[in-house]
Structures are given as C-alpha cells and as structure tokens.
C-alpha cells in the first residue's frame, strides 16, 4: 500500500490587507500547502491601513523579537528582485533617535546578523552634525541604518493577492459577519462555511468582529494613526523616527515629506475615522521646532490600525482552530514578510 497523503488543511483568512494577503500567499505556497479562502470586505484599500500606510521600513525595533522580524523582512526585500518590485522599495536609509539611556545593544546585534554593515550607533553631536536636527536632549543617541527606507504596502498587498490566487487561493469578496470556534465562518449573505483553521486578519476591524462573535477581544484594540504630506525644503534625511519629540517621517517625492506625530485616539472606529486638524497643526509646529524647516500640511491622511498589549504582528490563538493575525500596533508593514512566514508555518503544523 502506498503512503497516504494528508489532505490539505482548509484555511479561511478574513481580511485582504497586507497581513491577510501575505499570510494567504505563504499558506498556499508552503510545502504542505493549504487550501485557502480569503474573505474581503469591499475593494482592497478602502479606508484600511495597508492602503494608506506610510511604509517606513527599517531593521531597528526596541525589542529583540520585533527587531528580528523587521530586519529579516528588510533583508528578504533587498535579496529579491521580485520583492523589490512588489514592494516598490526605496532605499533612503533610516535614522532612529532615542532618548538618553535608550537600549540599542541587543537590537544592533540582531541587525549585524541580518543586515551586516547596515547599522551604526551615533551620539548627539554627530546627529546634530550629520542630520538636519535643530534640537535634541542631552544624551540622545541614534541608530543609523543604510539598508532601510520605505515601501508601498498597498502595492505589496496587490501583488500578494494576485500571486496567491495564481497559486490556487480563492478570494471571496464577501464580508464575514461572525466566526465561531470549531471553527467556521458566517458570511454577511448568511452562508456558513466550516474550516480547519480560521484566521482573523481584519486589522482594526478585528476587535469588533471578535466581540460580535461573542468572543473576548484578547488584548486587541484600535488606535488612529495620522500623517501629513507637504512641501518642505528638508534635505539630508531618509526615513526617520525621533522618540524625543514623537516626530517621524520620510521623503515623499520631489520637495515633499511625509511627517506625523503619534495620536492618543484609542478605540477609534475604523469606519468613521477622520483627520484631526489640530494634530496636523502640531506636526507643522514640531517640524519647525525640531528640524528648523517650514512644513505646510498639504494633505492629511488618517486611518486605524489594530494594537495589542504586547505589540507585534503575530498569530494568536483565540479558540479551537480560531486565530488572529494582527496587533502590529502601527508597524506591521515593516515586519509582515517575516511574520507571515512564521504564522503560516505555525498554522500548517498545528492540529
């Protein structure tokens, strides 16, 4: 008798943002490939995080695990002509400024392993000499990375969905109404579909989908993210984050920059989120104070993302056969390539 082949696992993925699209692609192209159905709500990009994401990518992250996922993702993009095309990767470099005592040693060791020769730690005097910063607190340090920049998560999502379908995944343009452990998916049109695994990758809509299904939100909640794009004479800076002022940004084509500050708008509704004009004005004032340049917010973009108590785009079990794949807390674009591979491997080997 010949060896019996285990039938392909039936996996439903809810949400076609960059997280759901990459997870679908990883799962359908894995050696023990799954049979994947991906459920979307409307046209990809309508108000979701992946459609408007700033796309800053770098290796440095505060925690070692997050740093490993980010560095592995950048390394994967740089090593692959296909991924450079799918992501539209622009290597502008990155500057990450920390306050006095900011921990760099662990993450920089991770960067040395994944992106050799990319990262260097510099002190306050060199930041002020080599970069257009006007004010910094005493003791500030920065991680400078050569191999970093920005990508288009929208472009990556589009490519991943296309390739997942080419590899055999099915995209169902039907929103999911509720999910049940077991697991199964009930669609808005009343259909009930059983699977071996159901993964909620619905970004900022995930907590609501869980509670609507009678399940706890499991440490997940939403938060508004907002940035502005405007013309500015700012030069000599690639992607950057300044933890001291909160300002972050990246070049945005000729003579323009994307600049943002963190919001405190927790539990915002992803369907009704609107730009906060006072925050856009604060960004203008902060750019003037920290970088010494005029910045006029021409266009302001706001959307929600899904945050977790322990930040990170990870597969989290919420019931038998039921998982979430979200919680990237405003940073999943930079870790999604690595996180989706790990999540698919975990999913396809779990029973």
Ligand X SMILES: Cc1cc2nc3c(=O)[nH]c(=O)nc-3n(C[C@H](O)[C@H](O)[C@H](O)COP(=O)(O)OP(=O)(O)OC[C@H]3O[C@@H](n4cnc5c(N)ncnc54)[C@H](O)[C@@H]3O)c2cc1C
Residues forming the site for ligand X (CB under 6 A):
14-20, 39-42, 44, 48-50, 52-56, 153, 175-176, 201-205, 209, 225, 227, 301, 303, 305, 326, 328, 330-334
The least CB distance from residue 236 to ligand X, in Å, is 20
Residue 335: CB minimum distance to ligand X, A? 7
For ligand X, the closer of residues 54 and 59 by Cβ is: 54
Helix pair angle (336-349, 64-79), 10° resolution: 100
Find the DSSP H helices in 80-222: 81-87, 105-114, 124-130, 153-166, 206-212
DSSP 8-class letter at 289: I
Least CB distance from residue 101 to ligand X, whole Å? 25
89 versus 227: smaller Cβ distance to ligand X: 227
Using the minimum distance from each CB to ligand X, give the nearer residue, 140 or 148.
148
- φ/ψ of 157, rounded to 5, equals -60, -45
Question: Considering the complex, what minimum distance in angstroms separates the CB of residue 34 from ligand X?
Answer: 18
Q: Which of 125, 129, 154, 156 is nearest to 141 (CA)?
A: 125
The distance of closest approach from Cβ of residue 187 to ligand X in the complex, given in angstroms and rounded to an integer, is 8
Structure tokens at 107: 């993450």
CB 13 within 8 A of CB 39: yes
Give the residue with the Cβ less far from ligand X, 104 or 187. Answer: 187
Nearer CB in complex with ligand X: 50/118: 50
Residues β-bridged to residue 228: 259, 300
Q: Name the closest residue to ligand X (Cβ).
A: 17
CB nearer to ligand X: pick between 56 and 169: 56
Q: Degrees (nearest 5) of the Cα angle 26, 27, 32?
A: 115
CB of residue 148 to ligand X, shortest distance in Å: 11
CB of 329 to ligand X, least distance (A): 7
Answer positive or negative: Cα dihedral of 235, 236, 239, 244: negative
157-184 in b/e form (b: 16+ CB < 10 A) is bbbbbebbbeeebebbebbbebbbeebb
Residue placing its CB nearer to ligand X in the complex, 144 or 148: 148
The pair phi, psi for residue 13, each rounded to 5°, is -120, 125
Residues 58 and 96: beta-carbon distance below 8 Å: yes
Least distance from C-beta 90 to ligand X, angstroms?
12
46 by Cβ neighbours in 10 Å (0-12 / 13-18 / 19+) ranks as exposed
Nearer to ligand X, 258 or 291 (CB): 258
């Amino acid at each position: 008798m010949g060896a019996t082949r285990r039938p392909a696992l039936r996996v439903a993925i809810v949400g076609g943002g960059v997280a759901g699209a990459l997870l679908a692609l990883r799962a359908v192209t894995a050696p023990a490939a799954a049979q994947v159905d991906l459920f979307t709500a409307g046209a990809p990009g309508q108000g979701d995080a992946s459609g408007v994401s700033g796309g800053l990518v770098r290796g440095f992250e505060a925690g070692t695990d997050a740093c490993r996922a980010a560095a592995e993702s950048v390394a994967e993009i740089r090593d692959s002509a296909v991924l450079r095309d799918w992501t539209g990767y622009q290597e502008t470099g990155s500057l990450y400024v920390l306050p006095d005592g900011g921990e760099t040693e662990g993450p920089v060791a991770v960067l040395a392993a994944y992106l050799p020769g990319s990262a260097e730690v510099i002190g306050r005097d060199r930041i002020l000499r080599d970069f257009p910063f006007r004010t910094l607190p005493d003791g500030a340090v920065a991680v400078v990375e050569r191999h970093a920049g920005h990508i288009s998560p929208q472009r990556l999502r589009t490519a991943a969905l296309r390739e997942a379908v080419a590899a055999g995944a099915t995209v169902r343009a039907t929103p999911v109404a509720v999910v049940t452990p077991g697991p199964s998916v009930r669609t808005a049109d009343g259909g009930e579909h059983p699977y071996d695994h159901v993964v909620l990758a619905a970004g900022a809509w995930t907590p609501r989908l869980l509670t609507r299904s009678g399940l706890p939100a499991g440490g997940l909640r939403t938060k508004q993210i907002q940035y502005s794009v405007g013309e500015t004479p700012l030069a000599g800076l690639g992607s950057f984050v300044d933890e001291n002022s909160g300002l972050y940004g990246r070049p945005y084509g000729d003579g323009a920059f994307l600049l943002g500050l963190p919001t405190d708008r927790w539990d915002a509704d992803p369907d009704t989120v609107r730009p906060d004009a006072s925050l856009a004005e604060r960004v203008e004032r902060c750019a003037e104070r920290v970088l010494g340049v005029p910045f006029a917010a021409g266009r302001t973009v706001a959307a929600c993302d899904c945050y977790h108590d322990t930040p990170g785009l990870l597969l989290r079990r919420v019931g038998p056969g039921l998982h979430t794949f979200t919680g990237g807390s405003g940073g999943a674009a930079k870790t999604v390539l690595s996180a989706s591979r790990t999540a698919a491997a975990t999913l396809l080997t779990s029973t």
